Amino acid sequence: MATVERLTTELVVPAEETPVGAVWLSNLDLAARRGYTPTVYFYRTDGKPGFFEADAVRDSLARALVAFYPLAGRLGLDGAGRVQIDCTGEGAVFVTARSERYALDDLLNEFVPCDAMRDLLVPATPAPNPPCPLLFAQLTRLRCGGVVLGLALHHSVVDARSAAHFVETWASISRGGGGADAAPLPPCFDHRLLSARPTPTVLYDHPEYKPEPAPPAHAAGAGSAAYASAIITLTKAQVTALKARCAGASTFRAAVALVWQCACRARSLPHDAETRLFSMIDMRARLAPPLPPGYFGNAVVRTSALATVGEVVGNPVGYAARRALAATSQGDDYARSLVDYLEGVDAMNLPRSGISRAHLRAISWMGMSLHDSDFGWGAPVFMGPALMYYAGFVYVMQAPGKDGAVALALSLEPESMPEFRKVFAEELARLEM
């Protein structure tokens, strides 16, 4: 039985006239997963009149779409069949909904990223092919008066940093931070900053963009859509202790190293099996020269590090952290090599299936401040992915309301998750000794 009733669906167009025409997409845009990325923001009611009143949210969205006008357009094709953004101004899809079943705390206790929650809290989206909308938003009012803002943005148009940039601008406008053109950081849509070089020069292998070989027997079921998901929080003290065991590692690398180690144990993989840690690295500040701070598009590259299961589980967690560093330290030459490599392949039809059961894919959302998503009624009490695409995903995020704490949203095979929870809890307990 549905527990959310959708009340209205409409198109929200920019509040002012906006440019028309096409926005060229880079090879990194074309290589991104062709689909929508669903996220959810949970807000506790502040008891004040006007709390997330639909007209106010709709009005601030219309004003935000003036600066971010491509999001009011449609995915399109140029004369050669290459995907682009057609800036038509047709609008973003805005849905209002309500739930008489859920109060905020009930939903927070029950929520894990999964298909069922995505279907409840994020609008349904069409096939992600031209000519589809690029932005869907759903405002769901809960029984207690709290709300959930569910978003789905097309990944061919934005990465996580750009999505956060848009939400932060929308929230700032809603708080009263200026008119339609008052983006705190104006977006830059010049994707030709990531064009291939006149003479492509591929210096690296880039296995992350190639079909994965047939998995060995221990990795049977690779790419399965079946997964169990969880949200696990590490306290500030646990993070500090973990980083002390991973000398020089960032919070992201240290947390991922522990997840990688525990996942290998929970999956009961042979010690001589290969396990690969995939990651996505934001290259904006790593390029020479760096991209403009407001670069709006996909500026992340897939990287990975390879080890044997025995190396990951048989060494202190600092070893896995050092391997994680190898997957997250690439610079300008690597990114330019990748863009050039993608120029020579069909970037719009790269393999985008799941990963082998021996592998893990880690994504950092650490730089996204929840306080920047304050629409005028307080920061969200939770923000995260609405679903996981397959087993073997982990997002590392700042835990809401807990300075220095980290939240992990992760997915594993259903049969592996109970053992993972057990061994991960044991490792956290050791950190506190």
Among residues 155, 191, 206, 359, the one annotated as catalytic is 155
A 10 A CB-CB count for 44 gives 20
Question: Can you read off the two tokens belonging to residue 256?
Answer: 């991922």
Give me the pLDDT at residue 48, please: 78
Q: End of a domain among 158, 193, 228?
A: 193
Domain identity same for 289 and 145: no
Domain identity same for 136 and 232: no
- The rounded distance, in Å, linking the Cα atoms of 34 and 349 is 9
In a domain, 220, yes or no: yes
pLDDT digits (tens, 9 = 90+) for 313-353: 999 999 999 988 876 778 899 999 999 999 988 877 776 65
Supply the DSSP string of 333-369, one letter for each residue.
HHHHHHHHHHHTS-GGG-------TT-EEEEEETT--
Domain identity same for 124 and 224: no
CATH number, domain containing residue 404 = 3.30.559.10
In a domain, 198, yes or no: no
Domain identity same for 264 and 321: yes
In a domain, 199, yes or no: no
In a domain, 201, yes or no: no
Among residues 119, 282, 333, 374, the one annotated as catalytic is 374
- The rounded distance, in Å, linking the Cα atoms of 170 and 150 is 14
Domain identity same for 259 and 328: yes
Q: What is the pLDDT along the chain (433 residues), one digit of tens a residue?
A: 468 999 999 999 999 999 999 999 999 999 998 899 999 999 999 787 899 999 999 999 999 999 999 999 999 999 999 999 999 999 999 999 999 999 999 999 999 999 999 999 999 999 999 999 999 999 999 999 999 999 999 999 999 999 999 999 999 999 986 555 556 789 999 999 999 999 999 998 888 888 766 555 555 554 456 899 999 999 999 999 999 999 888 999 999 999 999 999 999 999 999 999 999 889 999 999 999 999 999 999 999 999 999 999 999 999 999 988 876 778 899 999 999 999 988 877 776 656 788 999 999 998 777 778 999 999 999 999 999 989 999 999 988 876 789 999 999 999 999 999 999 999 999 887 6
Alpha helix locations (H) across 159-205?
160-175
| Residue span of the structural domain in which 238 resides | 207-431
Q: End of a domain among 166, 193, 220?
A: 193
A 10 A CB-CB count for 429 gives 10
- pTM of the predicted structure, to 2 decimals: 0.93
Q: How many domains does the chain have?
A: 2
Give me the pLDDT at residue 1, please: 45
374 catalytically annotated: yes
Distances (CA, A) of 170 to 167, 204, 288: 5, 39, 30
In a domain, 287, yes or no: yes
> Cα(first)–Cα(last) distance of the chain, in Å?
46
218 catalytically annotated: no
| Neighbour order of strands in the sheet with 74-77 | 21-24, 83-87, 74-77
In a domain, 21, yes or no: yes
pLDDT digits (tens, 9 = 90+) for 360-376: 999 999 877 777 899 99
Rg (CA), the chain: 21
Whose CA is closest to 260, among 328, 160, 206?
A: 328
Q: End of a domain among 193, 225, 243?
A: 193
Domain identity same for 241 and 372: yes
Do 230 and 263 contact (CB within 8 A), yes or no? no
Give me the pLDDT at residue 222, please: 46
What SS3 state is found at 57?
helix
Domain identity same for 165 and 296: no
Domain identity same for 189 and 232: no
- 285 CB burial (10 A radius; 0-12, 13-18, 19+): exposed
- The rounded distance, in Å, linking the Cα atoms of 286 and 227 is 34
In a domain, 186, yes or no: yes
DSSP conformational letter for 254 = H
Domain identity same for 55 and 95: yes
- The rounded distance, in Å, linking the Cα atoms of 158 and 61 is 17
Domain identity same for 187 and 247: no
Domain identity same for 253 and 187: no
Domain identity same for 160 and 308: no
Give me the pLDDT at residue 160, please: 92
Question: Can you read off the two tokens belonging to residue 278?
Answer: 């995939």
In a domain, 152, yes or no: yes
Give me the pLDDT at residue 180, please: 52
